[in-house]
Chain A
Amino acid sequence: MRVNFTVNGRPQEADDVWEGESLLYVLRERLGLPGSKNACEQGECGSCTVRLDGVPVCSCLVAAGQVEGREVVTVEGLADQARQRARGDARGTSLDEAKALAAGGQESPAGEGTGAFPHAALSPVQQAFIDAGAVQCGFCTPGLLVAADEMLERNPSPTDADIREALSGNLCRCTGYEKIMDAVRLAAARQGEGV
């Protein structure tokens, strides 16, 4: 079958999709977007988390046919989405950040981000994960970023319990979660300060 849907703001068409294929498979194998990860294929690990019409879902549990006509945002689209939020939505975002984000595309060398002037090509939560040491093997990172980004959009000042609840569907085996907590706190704080 053919599936038409929007991924990270761009219309996409996937052909020859077998009815049993998941949204995750179509993203990874047919659309060349392997950022969403497959670690359990049964909705337990959250590594494949994407937003479907704004709602975080495990894309391994969504049949590809179900996304016909709908909007999907993956980790590959997080930075763009943050930029759009910065332009169109004043919540927690300063003019400076909007300018910095709009300037975009200015690749600074990998891993050299700083707190005060986040990497322009990254969303605040992506930058915070790097800065806080929340990335080790990184396999869980895309799903966690999508989930954390969605929570911070809903709840700009989360308590620790809020963060744990929001991320409880995402398994990480490397970090013991402490640096992930630090990263989300950092992203929330920077958002609050408008940097």
Chain B
Amino acid sequence: MPSDSAPLGTPSKVTQGSPGSPAQGGIGESTLRPDGTLKVTGEFAYSSDLWHEDMLWGQILRSTVAHAEIVSIDTGEALAQPGVHAVMTYDDLPTEVRNYGLEVQDTPVLAHGKVRHHGEPVAIVAADHPETARRAAAKIKVEYRELPVITDEASATAPGAVLVHENRADHHIGHVPHPNILHRQPIIRGDADEAARRAAVIVKGEYHFGMQDQAFLGPESGLAVPEEDGGVHLYIATQWLHSDLRQIAPVLGLPENKVRMTLAGVGGAFGGREDLSMQIHACLLALRTGRPVKIVYNRFESFFGHVHRHPARLYYEHGATSEGKLTHVKCRIVLDGGAYASASPAVVGNASSLGIGPYAVDDVDIEAIALYTNNPPCGAMRGFGAVQACFAYEAQMDKVARRLGMDPVAFRKLNAMEQGTVMPTGQPVDSPAPVAELLRRVEAMPLPPERQWESSEGVDVRQLPGGLSNTSHGEGVVRGVGYAVGIKNVGFSEGFDDYSTARVRMEVVGGEPVAVVHTAMAEVGQGGVTVHAQIARTELGVARVTIHPADTRVGSAGSTSASRQTYVTGGAVKNSCELVREKVLDLGRRRFGTHHPAWAAAELLLEGGKVVTDGGEVLADLVDVLGDEAVEVEAEWRHRPTEPFDPRTGQGNGHVQYSFAAHRAVVEVDTELGLVKVIELACAQDVGKALNPLSVVGQIQGGTAQGLGIAVMEEIIVDPKTAKVRNPSFTDYLIPTILDTPTIPVDVLELADDHAPYGLRGVGEAPTLSSTPAVLAAIRDATGLELNRTPVRPEHLTGTA
């Protein structure tokens, strides 16, 4: 029975700003989150909190093997279970569109004849209790005939290798050397071989970056509610509503206007919600049963239910003159994309175009590829592509400096790019690039005291490696300090039409002018809603701003990823506010233009609820100008266009903006047990303009901690023989706790990018880049070990690996 009643947990408008108060809370202030109160009282409804009175629970059956033909599926016993309302397999899909994907539609909604990775969805069940659904799914009998697994570059390109995808027709197949290579991007500039002859030292290195999980705390979840008109309303945690919509509707056989989407509360994302997870499955079950269907992954399933950060093998050669100038860089970056394409092409683009880091080098020879394998699919995660490269090129920079006998920071500063530097892609950097300054700042911060674990009351073991495990009282503990700096592109690159849409409405409510901001931006925790309200206050001079829930009744906002939302949706909100302001002023001119000549002549502003001249003279109250009218604008806004990279040379103006951060890590290592404690992880970052300084620092600290995680603890372990995931739980996949995370002092630099709204720079990803190599450099400094892989484990430090 279709139901039009909204579920419990449907998001509502949030209004911020006290009536009658002056218009505080504009850009540049540390305004507090509009959803903060709801989040601390437990009232904020996440996608897993949604509830509908007649809802069913959905469950996905996933493959237990990585690569196999499906011989048979028997759903009979599952369907016969009391409380089970539907069981669906590939054969039950309603249309001929049975695959989805961000760029390449290679991902089956449900497996058809074959599974390509461990944990691939095979069947779905709806039942009246989540445990009933789980038990029913377990009664579905799937017979597999196992195939050999492709797990790395060697097995992918070996003669006679099994193809992960046969009959590829995607637009990358024409430029890759093997069908198990999804995408390849070379970047050639100058003549690296010729330049190498000028080098006094040449350093080669091979590096391995482990598979990292986003590990957002709110699991994949949502509620699909069938509607009277045969459509469906999906309440969902995602990073990009309209991208989901574009992929969901064709599979359901519905026009996009019959698939309504509302953003439910999102418990973190970090790239892991860019791809679809349970969206289509919940909708299919809802349309099949006619009942609302809720699906919530548990943590085990979450590890299989979203893409991860690409593990990578990176091969580098750096050369430098005896004076310490880089002569050339050659590198080859092999990213494991796993079984499906996801965001791999963009990851390849980032890894290659940013592959030498924030340094000025004229002669480069770069190649990045992404493999198709039977490992878990990999895609977007904070800093995608740039993170893996930064780990390797920064290790190389330290090695070259050591060979030259130079200080590693001085060597970096000597080679640091700056505004005007030409990137390996031939694109000049046309806004501030304060790489040397960030290094100078982070180096200038005071160091934590030596033997910081000693206090007047003796040794505090909590401050030592091993902590309360009481493994050391300081014996065998040595300190190391390491530095790193990185470069990340902001926004979608390579010619993508990267736009956002904002609807802004201004009207008088309760005797006060109020701005309502409606976008489809996914608030995933970053504070976009805070910033939108701040922009509206600054541009429209109102105190009260109402944030409308994000949904598909307004145009696309693009993805909450690539550090782009404050830039692009922030830019769209600013633009729509400016258009609203013009309309309001037109209204004022019509109503009051004859009262004062300044209406016609002067530059007029909206401030403190009034129309004022640029000289500060008050012309009218907004309440009087607006009267009973509401002024509303919905408009798209775009940043400067970018270009694709040339497929052979990698040349092209592919990026719109860069973001830079530098870290200094201080670690203490128990060299006997191989235990590492990071004592401090200082960061300096240029943010262009901090629209909300409190949130900016929060982003930098959070990104820094994720970089720390992949340095010393986090890694999804995939069995190289079976391609099965060995540690899909928070017991076995460790993310940093408050005991593992040190103090993170932050120095924020604000050098405006004149091309961007308010001069701002995207901030979210850059701190995730340099954090990891800084920690590795510090551990190398403490131990003298080479450490060419991350994360570092105790066995790598004790020689027992």
Chain A residues engaging chain B, CB cutoff 8 angstroms? 18, 20, 28-29, 32-42, 44-45, 47, 74-76, 78-79, 108-113, 119, 121-122, 126-127, 129-131, 133, 135-142, 145, 161, 163-165, 167-181
Contact = CB atoms under 8 A, between A and B. Distances in A.
Contacts of B594: none
Contact of B33 (A35, A109, A130): A130
Given A126-B41, A165-B462, A41 B744 contact: no
B561 interface: no
B525 interface: yes
Interface stretch (B140-148, B601-609, B698-706): B698-706
B704 A133 contact: no
A135 B16 CA distance: 17
Contact of A137 (B266, B695, B706, B743): B266
B532 to A, nearest CB: 13
Contacts of B38: 110
B786 interface: no
A173 B299 contact: no
Contacts, number: 216
A34 B41 CA distance: 11
A163 B737 CA distance: 12
Contacts of B43: 35, 76
**8 closest residue pairs by CB, A with B:** A35-B42, A137-B525, A139-B267, A176-B705, A138-B39, A176-B701, A44-B730, A34-B49
B16 A112 contact: yes
A38 B48 contact: yes
Interface in B20-35: 30-35
B277 interface: no
B38 to A, nearest CB: 7
A111 B268 contact: no
Nearest to B24: A112
Interface stretch (B114-122, B163-171, B213-221, B576-584): B213-221
A127 B32 CA distance: 11
25 contacts: A18-B131, A34-B42, A34-B48, A34-B49, A34-B51, A39-B217, A42-B729, A42-B730, A45-B730, A75-B42, A111-B33, A111-B34, A112-B16, A112-B18, A113-B37, A127-B40, A133-B694, A141-B39, A161-B460, A171-B730, A175-B702, A176-B744, A177-B705, A178-B743, A178-B744
B298 interface: yes
Contacts of A165: 462, 468, 739
B26 to A, nearest CB: 14
B36 A135 contact: yes
By CB atoms of chain B within 10 A, which of A167, A168, A180 has the most?
A168
Given A47-B217, A175-B701, A178-B697, 10 more contacts: A20-B131, A44-B730, A45-B299, A111-B530, A112-B32, A119-B37, A145-B40, A173-B214, A173-B215, A173-B270
Contacts of A137: 216-218, 266-269, 524-525
B133 to A, nearest CB: 13
Contacts of A175: 698, 701-702, 705
B41 A122 contact: yes
A130 B217 contact: no
B268 A173 contact: yes
B685 interface: no
A138 B525 contact: yes
A76 B40 CA distance: 9
Most A-side CB within 10 Å, residue of B17, B216, B266, B741 = B741
B14 interface: yes
Contacts of A36: 42
B377 interface: no
B375 interface: no
Contacts of B741: 176-178
A36 B348 CA distance: 40
Contacts of A164: 462, 738-739
Given A109-B18, A165-B739, A44 B729 contact: yes
A126 B40 contact: yes
Contacts of B214: 173
Interface in B720-764: 729-731, 735-739, 741, 743-744
Contacts of A167: 738
Given A41-B298, A137-B216, A173-B706, A75 B131 contact: no
B218 A39 contact: yes
A121 B270 CA distance: 32
B635 to A, nearest CB: 27
Given A44-B729, A47-B217, A173 B735 contact: yes
Nearest to A168: B739
Contact of B525 (A29, A33, A174, A176): A174
Nearest to B42: A35
B217 A42 contact: no
A168 B743 CA distance: 15
Contacts of B215: 173
B44 to A, nearest CB: 6
Contacts of A145: 40
Contacts of A32: 8, 51
A42 to B, nearest CB: 6
Given A138-B44, A174-B525, A34 B270 contact: no
A75 B39 CA distance: 10
A75 B266 CA distance: 19
A38 to B, nearest CB: 7
Contacts of B51: 29, 32, 34
Contacts of B269: 137
Interface string B9-21: 1000011111000
Contacts of B739: 164-165, 168
Given A18-B131, A37-B46, A109 B17 contact: yes
Contacts of A126: 40-41
A128 to B, nearest CB: 9
B210 interface: no
A31 to B, nearest CB: 12
B402 to A, nearest CB: 30
B590 interface: no
Contacts of B463: 161
Contacts of B468: 165
Contacts of B701: 175-179
B737 A168 contact: yes
Contacts of A44: 729-731
B648 interface: no
A130 B41 contact: no
A173 to B, nearest CB: 5
A167 B420 CA distance: 47
B527 interface: yes
Contacts of A180: 738
Contacts of A75: 40-42
B45 interface: yes
A179 B736 CA distance: 15
A110 B15 CA distance: 7
A133 B462 CA distance: 26
B129 interface: yes
A168 B734 CA distance: 13
B493 interface: no
A195 B42 CA distance: 24
Nearest to A166: B738
Contacts of B14: 110
A48 B16 CA distance: 29
Nearest to A21: B131
B772 interface: no
B299 A40 contact: yes
Interface in B290-306: 296, 298-299
A180 B51 CA distance: 30
B731 to A, nearest CB: 6
Contact of A139 (B217, B706, B731): B217
A112 to B, nearest CB: 6
B598 to A, nearest CB: 34
Nearest to B43: A35
B63 interface: no
B526 interface: yes
